Amino acid sequence: MTHVVRLEQVTVKRQNNLLIDQIDWTVDRDQNWAIVGRNGAGKTTLLKLLTGYIWPSKGSVTVLGETLGKVELSELRKKIGWISAALLSELEQSSASSNVLDVVCSGYFASFGLWKEVPTHIRIQAFDLLEQMGISSLAQRNFSVLSQGQKQGVMLARAWLSNPELLILDEPCAGLDVPAREALLQSLSAISQQKDAPTMLYVTHHIEEILPSFQYIALLDQGKLVAQGLLAEILTGATLSKLWHLSVDVLWRENRPFLIPVPTGQKI
């Protein structure tokens, strides 16, 4: 079986700091992973490694069967959808005067802005996706005037349209209120249930965002992968308390985890 992601003994060192420390990690096609760790743990660095925006100091990185260093990155990136604060700020700069439908359609070309004629069937597909997400009324609105939650939804539709094999979500619900968060998660859940759904990697600080379709988790601490495997086994009060140096418990409802700080709030 071709692995979607395979990291072997990967280390990233910058100015004597170990950003990533000897990580071994394999993601298979039918696995969706949550990635959790404290601020500065190395989560975004790990994601940037997968798309070739950061180069390892040691070790090998293979993504969608291609070893980085031996592949044309622009071709590889066309197969990867990415939602992050960095992408949002790129879109805000490049698409300030574009309407929402055009921003979604730019996902088809993996470009910022539209430089080519969009085929009619792609426009229809883009509109259908917006409709499926309940935001088609925004289609003709200028992207720059959207609220944070609306922009996040448009980014997801843009990534969805590009039909990626790997979908990377770096804190996609940051700054969203609860209804906007749940709407975005519902769309994500719909994507995960499609035939040929992409493999998803989801970075978050909020475990209640981890949907039942995410069955695996990687815990990062100071650049090290300190735990990885099945969510049900790893996501416990004990492991999170150790990771965060804070007493917490995990409560499960409807197959979703919720964080409960232990009342004393004592540091462990």
Q: Are 207 and 173 in contact, with CB atoms under 8 Å apart?
A: no
Select 85 or 262, whichever has its Cβ closest to ligand ATP: 85
Q: Are 59 and 22 in contact, with CB atoms under 8 Å apart?
A: yes
Give the residue, chosen from 15, 16, 74, 264, that forms a contact with ligand ATP under the rule CB under 6 A: 15
**Under rule CB under 6 A, residue 14 binds ligand ATP:** yes
Number of residues that bind ligand ATP (CB under 6 A): 12
Give the residue, chosen from 10, 19, 138, 210, that forms a contact with ligand ATP under the rule CB under 6 A: 19
Select 85 or 124, whichever has its Cβ closest to ligand ATP: 85
Q: Please list every residue from 109 through 128 that binds ligand ATP, using CB under 6 A.
A: none
Select 43 or 181, whichever has its Cβ closest to ligand ATP: 43
Spatial separation of the C-alpha atoms in residues 1 and 148, rounded to whole Å? 39
CB of residue 35 vs ligand ATP: minimum separation in angstroms? 9
Select 17 or 264, whichever has its Cβ closest to ligand ATP: 17
CB of residue 186 vs ligand ATP: minimum separation in angstroms? 25
Q: Please list every residue from 155 through 194 that binds ligand ATP, using CB under 6 A.
A: none
CB of residue 226 vs ligand ATP: minimum separation in angstroms? 13
Residue recorded with tokens 């950003």: 19
Look up residue 76 and give its amino acid: L
Select 19 or 27, whichever has its Cβ closest to ligand ATP: 19
Select 41 or 161, whichever has its Cβ closest to ligand ATP: 41
Site string for ligand ATP, 21-50 (x = CB under 6 A): ----------------x-xxxxxxx-----
Question: Which residues are at the interface with ligand ATP (CB under 6 A)?
Answer: 14-15, 17, 19, 37, 39-45
